[in-house]
Amino acid sequence: MSNKRKDLARAVFIADALSLGSHWEYNTEQIAKKYTGIIDEYRAPMSKFHKGKEAGDLTHYGEQAFVLLKSIADNQGFDLKQFRDDWVEYLENNEMYMDHAMTDSLEKFKGSDTLIGADNVELGGIARSLPLFLEEDITQKEFLDLVHLTHNGKIVDQTAEFVFAVIQEVLAGKNYKEAIKDNKNWLYN
């Protein structure tokens, strides 16, 4: 496995933990008071949605990304159905905040073998899915299928296709700024 892939996985969890302090805090004045400049240290959450979390903890997106990482490791690779089952088990045995995409997807999965969850156009499914890039032969379809476990819609697909293309190019050695510039057409289709 390339160091770039490992670095991407590390970056996912570091960025998520750094974001916890201001995650889901919608009062921009409060954020501006507490944060100035670059966020370079872990902070306790301001938001009521993350009760019990402390500085350095993961958001509920990061926790789901961790479940994906653990599922990949435990099963010697990615399997969508196995991840869905691992994800459901983790959520049912955890007290973290669950957003609508998570609760709606859990409801859809009860008594069903479906691998398509909530009709939700937020981008949390993409954020949760980034550890999948540890797999060297990941396809765009596998990435989209994973995102679709909790988030579905045209804007989700367009954004996921963009993220997939950019990350694949960066992992292949392209400068991230060039990869973004070269793939911006995904965002305008």
Q: What percent of the chain has pLDDT over 70?
A: 97
Residue 185 or 100, more confident: 100
Owning domain of residue 127: 3-188
Q: What is the pLDDT of residue 187?
A: 62
Task: Give the number of domains in the chain.
Answer: 1
Distance (Å, whole) CA 83 – CA 25: 30
Q: What is the pLDDT of residue 2?
A: 66
Averaged pLDDT, 123-151: 94
Q: What is the pLDDT of residue 25?
A: 81
Mean of per-residue pLDDT scores for the chain: 92
Global confidence as pTM: 0.91
Distance (Å, whole) CA 100 – CA 89: 17
Confidence of residue 188 (pLDDT cuts 50, 70, 90): low
Averaged pLDDT, 43-69: 93
Residue 186 has pLDDT above 80, yes or no: no
Residue 151 has pLDDT above 60, yes or no: yes
Residue 17 maps to which CATH number?
Answer: 1.10.4080.10
Contact 98, 91 (CB under 8 A): yes
In order, the DSSP letters of the chain are --HHHHHHHHHHHHHHHHHTTTTT---HHHHHHH--S---S-----SGGGTT--TT---HHHHHHHHHHHHHHHTTS--HHHHHHHHHHHHHT--S---HHHHHHHHHHTT----------SSHHHHHHGGGGGSTT--HHHHHHHHTTT--SHHHHHHHHHHHHHHHHHHTT--HHHHHHHHGGGGG-
- Tokens 């990615």 belong to which residue? 78
Q: What is the pLDDT of residue 28?
A: 87
For 84-120, how does the pLDDT look when each residue is reduced to its tens digit (9 = 90+)? Answer: 999 999 999 988 889 999 999 999 999 999 999 999 9
Q: Please provide the size of the chain in residues.
A: 189
**Structural tokens at position 158:** 């367009």
Lowest-confidence region among 40-44, 123-127, 182-186: 182-186
Q: Alpha carbon of 40 to those of 7, 142, 172: distances in Å?
A: 18, 33, 28
Averaged pLDDT, 68-72: 97
Q: What is the pLDDT of residue 189?
A: 57
